[in-house]
């Protein structure tokens, strides 16, 4: 058995262990080939293009999953998604799956320990997702990603929303009686499909702080947070 056939057989077994079945095992081979290896061996394809594709697929899959939770506003959706597609998280999943054990790297990269470097592992995970998408389509890629991430995604989506600074500011200011608090829209910029609002909060007629956001609600929250810090010198509870 030559090295190419041996590699294909190993990858077939590895794919099976991951619950995957490739029509073209060569795509998984490319996904598990670091650029440093391709640089040392002419004619070998590396995983950067599949990494690019997998990055986009991950964004879609994670965004779509979180979107179905109506309790999450845009800010929380963005924050949770960012936590799951960042390098640290993807490197963790890659390590759990053992992707580094099958990654082909160049001699120099091997000496530098790139096989276990977080950035390399994260890129490899994205490339594998891209390979699954190319081989089997979006549903297969979605099934793979959620099989790995769903439990943690569910936990993250149950997080308590970020502090409601409008409520905190009102509560703190009105401990000793009613106080006039107003939020006024002072500016709106950008195109109609992507506006940026600026809101100013005043207390007893005195302007305290401004905030900006993609909606009036988000701008008001930022203004309230800044006012809270200015008036009380502390973050929300």
- Select which of 51, 55, 200, 220 is catalytic: 55
10 is catalytic: no
- Select which of 126, 200, 220, 225 is catalytic: 126
CA distance 160 to 76: 10
Q: What angle do CA 27, 30, 31 make, to 5 degrees?
A: 85
CA dihedral 218, 161, 80, 188 (to 10 degrees): 0
Cα Rg of the chain (Å, integer): 24
Backbone φ, ψ for residue 207 (5° rounding): -70, 125
CA distance 76 to 82: 10
CA distance 99 to 95: 6
Helix (H) or strand (E) holding 122: helix 118-136
55 is catalytic: yes
SS3 201: strand
Per the CB < 8 A criterion, the answer to whether 201 and 209 are in contact is yes
List residues with catalytic annotation. 55, 126
């Amino acid at each position: 058995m030559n090295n190419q056939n041996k590699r294909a057989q190993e990858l077939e077994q590895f794919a099976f262990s991951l619950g995957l079945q490739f029509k073209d095992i060569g795509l998984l081979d490319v996904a598990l080939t670091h650029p440093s290896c391709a640089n040392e061996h002419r004619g070998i394809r590396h995983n950067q293009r599949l990494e690019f594709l997998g990055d986009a697929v991950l964004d879609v899959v994670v965004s779509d999953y979180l979107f179905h939770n109506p309790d999450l506003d845009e800010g929380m959706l963005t924050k949770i998604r960012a936590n799951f597609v960042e390098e640290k998280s993807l490197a963790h999943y890659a390590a759990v799956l053992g992707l580094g054990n099958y990654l082909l790297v160049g001699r120099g990269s091997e000496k530098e320990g790139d096989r276990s470097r977080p950035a390399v592992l994260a890129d490899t995970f994205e490339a594998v997702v891209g390979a699954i998408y190319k081989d089997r389509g979006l549903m297969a890629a979605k099934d793979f990603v959620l099989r790995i991430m769903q439990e943690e995604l569910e936990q993250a989506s149950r997080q308590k929303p970020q502090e409601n600074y409008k409520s905190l500011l009102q509560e703190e200011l009105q401990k000793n009686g009613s106080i006039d608090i107003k939020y006024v829209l002072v500016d709106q910029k950008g195109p109609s499909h992507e506006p940026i609002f600026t809101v100013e909060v005043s207390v007893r007629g005195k302007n305290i702080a401004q905030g900006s956001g993609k909606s009036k609600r988000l701008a008001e929250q930022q203004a309230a947070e800044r006012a809270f810090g200015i008036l009380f010198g502390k973050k929300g509870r």
